[in-house]
Chain A
């Protein structure tokens, strides 16, 4: 049960020595309660404080940092539904390599993982990991392939093999890459966690059912190793969906520590659509790492877009860069529209302009990511601010047309805008972007 700042403060030395970075022990206690500080920052914390606070201050779902420079963060989630606060670390997507694959196909996959880049909303999206699976019998070849995969892609790996010895060799081959070893059985896990710890890797646990998996996780944590992933073994899509939900809820709401870890799943249904369905279920329902059997650009692009959308922080309105956008191939005399830099507004308006098949300029001033009406109400989307932006952007030099279409909901700013932009004529466009098409047909052509 989370302790309040005051309860924590009683356990601290109360010397206000400031070595933890806070002015007073109470301030430090408040930070601890809000999980914004670690008890370890207080060098004088008593044993009792460590014992009591250790359990309480642990985040409900452990956050693991993978990759040579710890840049791939997984887990650390705090809510069941994104609107309650936000999802924090998006599901990592990996491509699988088998050591029995043909060399060209291995080369192709490694090249894809290194180079695939999808740009959306100004963000650069890449594949996060490579999985290396041993299907052959040669442990050394497996370890060599792991080394090659890591050096070529610079990504953390997921290492999967039925043979503990092969895994140990591969773990050593990629030491320091902070990868994930997949323990094939509970028994193998009992040995492999030491291998994982020595080489700085995490360990993915699996077991025939949830009862044994929970017991296994608790046991290994008790032995002092806590960098764990959970690899569920559902027998159906329904069970996958429900298990993910039950496990995450148990960790977040019922303090079930053994389920407080990110998950790992190998998707391999043999059918592109069904693979996509399982991967979508992992992205929407709390998946940690999702390994795809092979590469298909259409599949990866759609999964990455869904992931980007769901893991966007609902509290921070996502914005697009304020500037003059060219839709299609506009010429100096092409029509000019104005809207705000709230990404949803921008995308809908630009999408509708594109739909009209009309090359035009879209002026997007800085409105702190607010929608048209909200920005206007906040005084961020007025005649003055738009005129100022147009002058600063040097639009008048860029275009010959002196006619500007503003959104219908802010018709009231047309007078002020015309005063601030001498020589310009302001047209009041439709209130809804969906009506842009009929507006263009009737008023512009």
Chain B
């Protein structure tokens, strides 16, 4: 019941209120000896874990192995020895489990990445002399024609710009052996250059295409999209299955707008039941999307995070005014979060700093810069995404994170998905227009750096999926879909 004991700014803002809250919930910290007593001893010993060292310095957070308890850490006498034994045993067991699950290649890539990565979070130390060891290239499936032809260019020097910091790699989903129930998991991020600049860098993980299912379909959901799904829309688990098997979705996004008090008022328990049904219906990793009614959204996300512990869901979203509870749940139950910012590079960076200061790992954060549809402000998102990716690659770990974009939802709001051709002949056939509008919106976001694109239109999603494979130029392909 730790989660119910978290007090964020909505509960208390000054020490007296916090004290009252702690007594009301019987917070365990009250039973701990007063830190003042140990302060004198702590002063002599090197600063214990209590003072927050920058996250990456805490332990060589080798991505494939869980952060082992820092052995050198002096055992703060505050923790009773049986607790310490339990923690050690659990960590060891978890370490062994993760070791078996991680393939040798993952282990090697993790070590390489750690070697490449400069200590994050503190002043950029002078470039370490450590040789930049290129990540081990898995043999490309087929010799790529683009790479081969462009490598033969000698008429002018083809400039190759090396990144300072590669985009962080985030793992989505968890296999049975990793505490989840997924048949397949994916990694996103890891790029060492701007999107598809494969002549000068690598994209170890291709961008992914997600389709969306709903707990409640809003009446404003465009008719032209209903024609694709019919009453599947009312059976999200079944719809998810069709999206994966027929439309080739890599991920499924479960939108829980129905839990919004004014849009269905569904309970957290109903939300958990729905997410579990979708988990049972498909073998791909899930994204779970809430809404902007913070209190209810936090309850729903906490319930889902707890009920699906270990599934490594992508909890969508946290933002500046509401992040502690969901980020806490992600840390507590092993999930990732979408860090949302209103089309603003600085707020995005600040958001990621706030999250990593809570000890959420960079490997658990995906940036959502928010997008408008084409014709409704996409150019603002397009430029913000390019700036985020360029700044990240040039040395800012707080922005060198994978990006998620939601062209489907944005295009579903606009008139172009509704107006009949008779009313707007210059816009042409409604069905084709709906597909092309979402596809073009998604494609431009793909070129600006999106690593996950949540689509609505299955035709557009399939075309986008095909395009990604072609743009990757037969690079290190993901395991081919059956």
Contact = CB atoms under 8 A, between A and B. Distances in A.
A246 B443 contact: no
Residues of A contacting B: mostly: helix
Interface stretch (A27-35, A149-157, A209-217, A403-411): A209-217
B439 A272 contact: no
A314 B377 CA distance: 11
Interface in B372-398: 372, 374-380, 382-383, 386-387, 390
A298 B428 contact: yes
Interface string B381-421: 01100110010000000000000000000000111100000
Interface stretch (B168-176, B182-190, B466-474): B466-474
A81 to B, nearest CB: 5
Interface in A161-180: none
Contact of A211 (B155, B262, B415): B155
Contacts of A285: 447
A344 B439 contact: no
Assign chain B's interface to a size class: 35 or more
B170 to A, nearest CB: 24
A238 B146 contact: yes
Contacts of B471: 237-238, 241
Interface in A213-257: 214-215, 234-239, 241-243, 245-246, 249-250, 253-254, 256
A299 interface: yes
A297 interface: yes
B444 A280 contact: yes
Nearest to B292: A434
B199 A347 contact: no
Interface stretch (B5-13, B304-312, B329-337, B430-438): B430-438
A96 B144 CA distance: 31
Nearest to B462: A273
A239 B377 contact: no
Given A81-B383, A258-B155, A301-B428, 18 more contacts: A235-B149, A236-B470, A237-B471, A239-B146, A241-B471, A249-B159, A277-B463, A281-B447, A297-B433, A298-B427, A299-B428, A301-B416, A305-B375, A309-B374, A309-B378, A309-B382, A347-B375, A434-B292
Interface of A: 81-83, 116-120, 209-212, 214-215, 234-239, 241-243, 245-246, 249-250, 253-254, 256, 258-259, 272-274, 276-277, 280-281, 284-285, 296-303, 305-306, 308-310, 312, 314, 344, 347-348, 351, 354-355, 432, 434-435, 438, 441
29 contacts: A81-B386, A118-B426, A209-B152, A209-B153, A210-B150, A210-B153, A238-B146, A238-B198, A238-B472, A239-B473, A242-B197, A243-B150, A246-B158, A250-B158, A258-B156, A277-B443, A280-B444, A297-B433, A298-B433, A301-B426, A302-B374, A302-B433, A309-B374, A310-B382, A312-B379, A344-B376, A344-B380, A347-B377, A348-B372
Interface of B: 144-146, 149-150, 152-159, 196-199, 220, 262, 292, 372, 374-380, 382-383, 386-387, 390, 413-416, 425-429, 432-433, 435-437, 439-441, 443-444, 447, 459, 463, 467, 470-473
